[in-house]
């Protein structure tokens, strides 16, 4: 897979498909596996770009605590290395905050889709999600706060697969903590400066990020629109992959 380097840190990414580029910005500590459901749904009509944040999969670990700006600058280097001048961004959790920051500070972004997102870092408590990648049991058990009880009961094989992928690609404790530091003090205000068409996907049963923060985000963005899945938890793109993918396709294919 292609790699690029920023400040001595190697960053790995992957692209598939043709057409306008959709880049995916992952949640805290998770590898590119996280976007497998959306990647499969959008590659073809679009070119998809998935990126391993520092400390996950084939990217080097962070040298110290990250900021949202650090992660957004990493994204910029990946997009420049690939030759991407115009991009739709999809971010989840911490990745939604990185996407917001990047959209404000870059001329590359056309549209935003923010899953389980918020305008401030203090709205998100990801600690229950962490698992040591070497602990297969924990990789499965700590999915409980991220996926609803119904989904876990109905799709145990999916949970087993996710646990395996987490063991292969997710961040260890040190890298996870350095990513988590990006939440400290993050504030995307003033949101009126982010005037891109933005789809905000709110999982109504999110245990890690207050759903009201997502609704406020949609209300305060000048061109924000919201879609809510009342019974879905934090990993809404996995739980509701088909309707979420349909919403993303319709949003990105529509006229600005």
Q: Which helix H or strand E contains 88, and what residues bound it?
A: strand 87-92
Question: So what's the pLDDT on residue 134?
Answer: 97
Q: What is the pLDDT of residue 255?
A: 76
Q: How far apart are the C-alpha atoms of 174 and 185, rounded to whole Å?
A: 20
Domain annotation for the chain: domains and CATH numbers: 3-123+172-253 (3.40.50.1820)
**Global model pTM greater than 0.95:** yes
Per-residue model confidence as pLDDT tens digits over 87-125: 999 999 999 999 999 999 999 999 999 999 999 999 999
The region that residue 55 occupies, defined by phi over 0 for left and psi between -120 and 50 for alpha, beta otherwise, is left
Give, in degrees to the nearest 5, the angle at Cα 113 between 197 and 237.
155
Name the stretches of the chain with pLDDT < 70: 256
Look at residue 1 in the predicted model and tell me its pLDDT. Answer: 83
Distance CA 139, CA 167 (A): 7
> DSSP string spanning 182-223?
GGTT-B---GGG--S-EEEEEETT-SSB-HHHHHHHHHHSTT
**End-to-end Cα separation, the chain, in angstroms:** 32
């Amino acid at each position: 897979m292609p790699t690029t380097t920023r400040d001595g840190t190697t960053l790995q990414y992957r692209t598939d498909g043709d057409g306008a580029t959709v880049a995916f910005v992952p949640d805290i500590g998770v590898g590119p596996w996280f976007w497998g459901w959306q990647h499969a749904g959008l590659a073809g009509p679009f070119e998809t770009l998935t990126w391993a944040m520092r400390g996950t999969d084939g990217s080097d670990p962070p040298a110290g605590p990250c900021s949202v700006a650090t992660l957004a600058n990493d994204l910029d280097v990946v997009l420049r290395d690939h030759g991407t001048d115009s991009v739709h961004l999809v971010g989840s959790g911490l990745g939604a905050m990185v996407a917001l920051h990047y959209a404000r500070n870059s001329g590359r972004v056309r549209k935003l889709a923010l899953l389980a997102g918020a305008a401030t870092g203090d709205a998100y408590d990801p600690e229950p999600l962490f698992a040591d990648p070497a602990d297969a049991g924990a990789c499965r058990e700590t999915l409980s706060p991220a996926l609803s009880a119904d989904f876990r009961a109905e799709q145990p094989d999916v949970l087993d697969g996710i646990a395996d992928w987490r063991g292969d690609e997710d961040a260890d404790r040190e890298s996870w903590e350095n990513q988590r530091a990006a939440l400290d003090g993050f504030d995307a205000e003033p949101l009126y400066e982010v005037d891109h068409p933005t789809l905000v996907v709110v999982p109504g049963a999110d245990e890690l990020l207050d759903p009201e923060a997502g609704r406020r985000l949609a209300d305060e963005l000048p061109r924000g629109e919201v879609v809510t899945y009342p019974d879905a938890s934090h990993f809404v793109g996995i739980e509701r992959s088909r309707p979420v993918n349909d919403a993303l396709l319709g949003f990105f294919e529509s006229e600005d």
